[in-house]
């Protein structure tokens, strides 16, 4: 179970918040602060109203930080073909996500790339991460 | 902070805010495309039974459900309240009821019998509404409630639902439009064909609005799914503490 080096790419630049902006999403996450992070899965919480999974992310200084990634509700994920077995503790995943406004290690996951290379949408209409990473 | 070299990307990173976007997207492939005639009960009345999809215009801002060019006729105090309310206090964010006619981005189910129609809502807080079809009137002495008291009748093939007895606690939408206990709601549902339902909602609330107004909506029948359990409070605290604007004393 080796923690993977962090590659943190901040997608800067403001984007127009679409009309579908959910009020409490905007109060919690910054859609304009999107990052891609890679880490090792430590936990999956398959609960409503949001499923969460946690990954250990290792920085270049060797320090490991645990990140909390928020997903849609299990109801939504199931209808998109996810299951609770989608990844295991110890899997390495890469997540494109929007950071929480309170600066914590919390982000709203948009897409998750699994160890076998499959890219799962967390249910959003997000575009792919910007090229050049 | 992790103290990394950040590669700045000039291209914008598109992230669609979640919640409604994700949940609604998950339902699109389930929408029925059938334009066959709507089914009927043995008494000849249209059968509205089925799993139905939400209408986004009843989620974020009900102004979007008005006829084009119209605006919500808010009284000045109601407009002020709308502007001052904060997301963290939205009953929806606190797993409290949406009331009528607000929707969540999850399926809802109509169970129809001759004397009672049930609306079962998967999302928000897994709520139900009863529409009494047996000719009764509203009770004389009602405690105000989040969903009010609903009685219904048929006007041709249109189900007309009359609801009173609301409390003033629900927000009409994420935009925080208020209503009062004086609100009287008239809903009209018409299943235009097997896979599609039109509905309109007339709000008459002289406590917060200067005149009645009507909202227009549409639902798709959803197939190959069932409503699922959704217990909103199960892990709600995890989200609430991250919402900007929380009580700083905690």
A contact test, residue of B2, B5, B8, B18 with most A CBs within 10 A: B18
Q: Is residue A17 a part of any domain in this protein? A: yes
SS3 B197: strand
Sort out which chain A residues have CB atoms less than 8 A from B174's CB and list them: 22-24
Determine the structural domain holding residue A60 and report its residue range: 9-121
Predicted pLDDT of residue B232? 85
Q: Strand B149-155 and strand B128-132: pairing?
A: parallel
Q: Which range, of A73-77, B48-52, B187-191, averages the lowest pLDDT?
A: A73-77
B34 to B30, B48, B192, B220: CA distances (angstroms): 12, 14, 11, 10
Q: Is residue A81 a part of any domain in this protein? A: yes
Any CB–CB contact under 8 A between A83 and chain B? no
- CA torsion sign, B242 to B232 to A40 to A121? negative
pLDDT, one tens digit per residue, over B12-54 is: 343 444 446 778 888 999 999 999 999 999 989 999 999 999 9
Q: Is residue A133 a part of any domain in this protein? A: no
Q: Is residue A3 a part of any domain in this protein? A: no
Cβ atoms of B210 and B46 within 8 Å: the answer is: no
Q: Which phi and psi angles does B62 have, rounded to 5°?
A: -65, -15
Any CB–CB contact under 8 A between A16 and chain B? no
Cβ atoms of B69 and B213 within 8 Å: the answer is: no
User: Per DSSP, what are the bridge partners of residue B121?
Assistant: B108
Residue whose token pair is 């250990």: A56
Contacts of B249 (CB under 8 A, 6+ apart): none
Search chain A and give the residue with CA nearest B237: A49
- Does the distance separating the beta carbons of A11 and B12 come in below 8 Å? yes
pTM metric for this prediction: 0.79
Identify which of B172, B190, B189, B149 has the alpha carbon closest to the alpha carbon of residue B64. B172
B90 to A115, B84, B94, B96, B146: CA distances (angstroms): 39, 12, 7, 9, 14
Predicted pLDDT of residue B33? 96
pLDDT, one tens digit per residue, over B128-154 is: 999 999 999 999 999 999 999 999 999
Taking residues A58-74, report their average pLDDT.
91
Q: How do the residues of chain A divide into helix, strand and coil, expressed in percent and rounded to 5? A: 10, 40, 50
Rounded to whole angstroms, how far apart are CA atoms B227 and B106? 8
Among candidates B18, B88, B175 on the partner chain, residue whose Cβ is nearest the Cβ of A72:
B18
Sort out which chain A residues have CB atoms less than 8 A from B248's CB and list them: none
CA distance B228 to chain A (A): 7
Angle B190-B194-B199 (CA atoms, 0-180°, nearest 5)? 20
Q: Is the pLDDT of residue B86 over 60?
A: yes
- Does the distance separating the beta carbons of B239 and A24 come in below 8 Å? yes
Q: Is residue A116 a part of any domain in this protein? A: yes
ipTM here = 0.76
Cβ atoms of B165 and B87 within 8 Å: the answer is: no
Identify which of B106, B133, B101 has the alpha carbon closest to the alpha carbon of residue B121. B106
Residue whose token pair is 């609330």: B205
Search chain A and give the residue with CA nearest B87: A24
Q: Which of A11-15, A47-51, B6-10, B179-183 has the highest mean pLDDT?
A: B179-183
Q: Is the pLDDT of residue B10 over 70?
A: no
Q: In this structure, what token pair is assigned to residue A101? A: 């406004």
Predicted pLDDT of residue B50? 98
Q: Is the pLDDT of residue A10 over 80?
A: no
Residue whose token pair is 């914008």: B12
What is the domain-level CATH number for residue A106?
A: 2.40.50.140
CA distance A42 to chain B (A): 18
Any CB–CB contact under 8 A between A129 and chain B? yes
Cβ atoms of A113 and A128 within 8 Å: the answer is: no
Q: Is residue A24 a part of any domain in this protein? A: yes
User: Per DSSP, what are the bridge partners of residue B74?
Assistant: B209
Q: Which phi and psi angles does B64 have, rounded to 5°?
A: -70, -10
Contacts of A14 (CB under 8 A, 6+ apart): A32, B12
pLDDT over 70 for what percent of chain A?
A: 71
Q: Which range, of A10-14, B87-91, B224-228, averages the lowest pLDDT?
A: A10-14
Q: Is residue A129 a part of any domain in this protein? A: no
Identify which of B127, B90, B124 has the alpha carbon closest to the alpha carbon of residue B106. B124
**Which A residues 40-69 touch B at CB under 8 Å?**
45, 47-50, 52, 57, 59-61, 63, 65
Q: How far apart are the first and last CA of chain A?
A: 24
Among candidates B2, B19, B235 on the partner chain, residue whose Cβ is nearest the Cβ of A25:
B19
pLDDT, one tens digit per residue, over B67-77 is: 999 999 999 99
Sort out which chain A residues have CB atoms less than 8 A from B4's CB and list them: 6, 8, 59-60
Structural domains counted in chain A:
1
- Does the distance separating the beta carbons of A19 and B60 come in below 8 Å? yes
Among candidates B6, B15, B225 on the partner chain, residue whose Cβ is nearest the Cβ of A110:
B15
Identify which of B76, B62, B73 has the alpha carbon closest to the alpha carbon of residue B205. B73
């Amino acid at each position: 179970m080796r923690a993977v080096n962090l590659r943190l790419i901040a997608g800067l630049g403001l984007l127009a918040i679409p009309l579908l902006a959910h009020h409490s999403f905007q109060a919690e996450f910054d859609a304009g602060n999107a990052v891609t992070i890679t880490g090792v899965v430590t936990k999956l919480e398959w609960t409503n109203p949001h499923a969460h999974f946690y990954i250990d992310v290792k920085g270049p200084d060797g320090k490991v930080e645990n990140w909390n990634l928020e997903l849609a509700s299990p109801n939504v994920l199931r209808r998109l073909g996810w299951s609770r077995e989608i990844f295991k503790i110890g899997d390495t995943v890469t997540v494109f996500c929007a950071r929480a406004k309170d600066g914590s290690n919390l982000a709203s996951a948009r897409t998750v790339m699994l160890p076998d290379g499959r890219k799962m949408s967390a249910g959003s209409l997000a575009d792919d991460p910007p090229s050049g990473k | 902070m992790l103290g990394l070299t950040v590669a700045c990307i000039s291209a914008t990173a598109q992230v669609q805010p979640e919640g409604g976007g994700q949940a609604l997207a998950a339902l699109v492939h389930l929408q029925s495309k059938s334009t066959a005639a709507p089914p009927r009960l043995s008494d000849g009345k249209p059968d509205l039974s089925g799993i139905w999809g939400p209408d986004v215009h009843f989620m974020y801002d009900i102004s979007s459900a008005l006829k084009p060019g119209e605006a919500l006729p808010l009284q000045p105090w109601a407009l002020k309240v709308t502007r001052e309310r904060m997301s963290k206090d939205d009953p929806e964010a606190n797993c409290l009821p949406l009331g009528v006619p607000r929707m969540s981005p999850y399926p809802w189910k109509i169970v129809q019998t001759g004397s009672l129609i049930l609306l079962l809502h998967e999302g928000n807080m897994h709520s139900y509404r009863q529409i009494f079809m047996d000719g009764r009137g509203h009770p004389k002495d009602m405690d105000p409630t989040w969903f009010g008291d609903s009685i219904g009748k048929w006007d041709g093939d249109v189900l007309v639902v009359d609801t009173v007895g609301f409390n003033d606690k629900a927000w009409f939408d994420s935009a925080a439009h208020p209503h009062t206990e004086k609100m009287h709601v008239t809903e009209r549902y018409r299943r235009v064909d097997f896979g599609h339902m039109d509905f309109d909602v007339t709000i008459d609330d002289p406590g917060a609005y200067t005149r009645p107004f009507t909202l227009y909506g549409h639902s798709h029948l959803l197939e190959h799914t069932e409503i699922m359990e959704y217990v909103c409070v199960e892990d709600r605290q995890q989200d609430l503490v991250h919402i900007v604007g929380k009580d700083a004393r905690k």
